[in-house]
Amino acid sequence: MVKKLGVTEITETEKSKMAAPTKFENFLKILQNEALLLDWMAWVMIATSFIVIILLLFVSAPYGRYTATGNKYLTLLKVPVKVAWFLQELPSFTVPLGLVIFTESTQFKNLSNKILITMFLLHYSQRALLFPFLIRGGKPTPFLPFFLAFVFCAYNGYMQGRMLTQFQVYSDTYFTDLNVCIGVAMFIMGMSINLHSDHVLRNLRAPGETGYKIPRGGMFEYVSGANFFGEILEWSGFALACLNLQAAAFALFTFCNLVPRAYSHHQWYLQKFEDYPKQRKAVIPYIL
């Protein structure tokens, strides 16, 4: 600060310090700029993906066949398996659908946006409204993984839905581009594999039977986690078709979440069944 003839003047350095926004002010700006917020949400998901894959390489998520191996405090409170699947997956369907119906959705007028958001809704309509009620038996889901799945589906449902309905701009001819054609084909193939694999797993046991059996047929001839492979392929295709950060973040998270799960399944099968096919990989045919 400099004084001249009784007048106090502020130096340029002091001006710059006074003008510099605080971290909290920067955070508020992000919240006010929804497009920037969606990018930050994607980056958070990407960072979380690497944390998840590191954790799951050492600890199996405590649900399904691994419930008994989880920490007793983490598995103390449980949710019936059908209720858990229905409630945890529902936000991925209702949130994007609500954005389409109840918000301005300026980009939803574009055919490409309509097709891409419909692909997302198609998957989760099956996952939330049909899949849970086809489950036969099944162990109750511990509350923690159920709650985390619910939060993730709400988070991702908003991020994908809002990006495709309001901010992602595509040309009128975008859906004829090669990346979209390949991506949609991957999505359809992945969803088909996922649905068929779920059908195989549901029908391994006859009514009244208990215990585990070796799944056979379809992609199970190549990998132990055929349902996981289908879902990874599905969302990788979705990301290729969308070509945005949000879809890429979701595809990466899917990979990082499901690959360790498939590897745990593969090791479990090898230990439990002496006649388990040795040529099968864990999740990616001929590779992993």
199-257 tens-digit pLDDT: 999 888 777 677 788 899 999 999 999 999 999 999 999 999 999 999 999 999 999 99
Say yes or no: 191 and 241 in one domain.
Answer: yes
Helix spans in the chain (H): 12-19, 23-32, 34-58, 81-89, 91-102, 111-129, 131-134, 143-162, 178-202, 226-242, 245-272
pLDDT at 13: 58
Say yes or no: 145 and 185 in one domain.
Answer: no
pLDDT at 138: 76
Rounded CA gap, 132 and 81, in Å? 8
Say yes or no: 195 and 266 in one domain.
Answer: yes
Residue with tokens 């809002």: 162
Say yes or no: 246 and 190 in one domain.
Answer: yes
Rounded CA gap, 239 and 120, in Å? 11
Instruction: Look up the domain containing 165 and give its range.
Output: 70-170
pTM score = 0.85
The total number of structural domains that make up the chain: 2
Structure confidence at residue 274 as a pLDDT band (50, 70, 90): confident
pLDDT, tens only, 15-63: 555 556 676 666 666 667 889 999 999 999 999 999 999 999 887 655 5
